[in-house]
Amino acid sequence: MWDNLPSDVLANVFSYLPPCSLARAMAACRHWHDCGRETRQICRHHQPWFIALPTRRTSRQLCFVHNPIERTWHLLNLEHVPSMTRPVSTIAGQGLVLFKSTGGAPIRLSVCNPFTGQFGHLPHLQKPRTNPAVGVIEGCTNQFKLYAAGGMSEAASGGAASYEPTLEMFDSISNKWTVMGSMPVEFAVRLTVWTPNESVYSNGVLYWMTSARAYSIMSFETGTTKWKELSVPMGDTLEFAALVPRNGKVAVVGGTHDRDVLVWELGEGDEWILIERIPHELAKSFAGSSTKCAGIEEGVCLYKDIASGMVVWRRVKDTKNKWGWCSIEGCNSASGKQLKNHPIKGLFLHPNLASSPFI
């Protein structure tokens, strides 16, 4: 029976397999391998994986991944990713990690699939700039958009560099950048000086949070091209704060001086509503300015480094609205080898073993 299944039917069956099972299925025969490689639908029937990328330049070609099904860590080698790059975010629906170049040269964005090793540069921006804020908007299958806002323009001959008060958009369908127009200079300055760690898109609005206290949020309405600044709850006193998506809305995760970790959700009229407080026995290890946060629609993770362990707040399996907290042991060994501790940038990703059309 399996030999006679059409390729598109078999690919749909494969989309329900967790990544580890799909990898074993692809090793069965050439036909199954080809069907697995052509499976474009990201499997959302399983929890996203946590991706930990070391931030030290000497270790940036390493990638630690946590399998939430088997609760195991694995070590991948991103040998094709240049050392002078830094992870920005994920394009989770495509199974890709978005990187930006470093070193003072005009920014160049690139994408990598950590599970297949595919890596490729995106086209150069229309206006060369360093250190802009980068935002991600995911559309339907095989489509995404990137936004680059602000940054420093190249210095003219004999002059000094200046802030670039424009916004550019990359469309994966046309595979090119387009200048969308100007932006308020004060927003360009703040997004450049306090470059955000992440962006969140919700209901036609792209949000960035500045990376230093007092925290604030810059929002851009993609339909009207209007910019607006939003306050952050307790923004001048939080030890750390992060912007995350949750159930199609925007949320802020923040740690207080009292060793509390709180979650607020943006409601009607741009009012923040407190929706969650991390259990004290978990929060005590994740208070302080060194705590970082990664988020995806299905979960939020607090972490410090690769060895210290993580705390995850995610949707409970087979429920629609119930979320629960759990802990993840840190990664101290992989493939039977002891590992050094690393400071990391954490991300969530739905693994994709298919060949990417964007690379």
Predicted pLDDT of residue 177: 98
Instruction: State pLDDT tens for residues 206-265.
Output: 999 988 778 999 999 999 999 999 999 999 999 999 999 998 999 999 999 888 999 999
CB 168 within 8 A of CB 147: yes
Instruction: State pLDDT tens for residues 137-188.
Output: 997 767 899 999 999 997 665 567 899 999 999 999 999 999 999 999 999 9
CA nearest neighbour of 149 among 61, 210, 94, 91:
210
CA nearest neighbour of 125 among 150, 93, 155:
150
d(CA 333, CA 199): 32
**The tokens of 190 are what?**
């703040």
Instruction: State pLDDT tens for residues 311-344.
Output: 999 888 777 778 999 999 999 887 677 888 989 9
d(CA 19, CA 70): 11
Instruction: State pLDDT tens for residues 37-86.
Output: 665 554 556 788 999 999 987 787 889 999 888 888 989 989 889 888 99
Predicted pLDDT of residue 196: 80
Q: Against a cut of 0.75, is the pTM above it? A: yes
d(CA 173, CA 143): 6
CA angle 191/195/197 to nearest 5° reads 125
Asked whether the bond before 214 is cis by omega within 30 degrees of 0, the reply is yes
The answer, yes or no, to whether residue 269 has pLDDT greater than 70, is: yes
CA nearest neighbour of 326 among 275, 281, 294, 291:
281
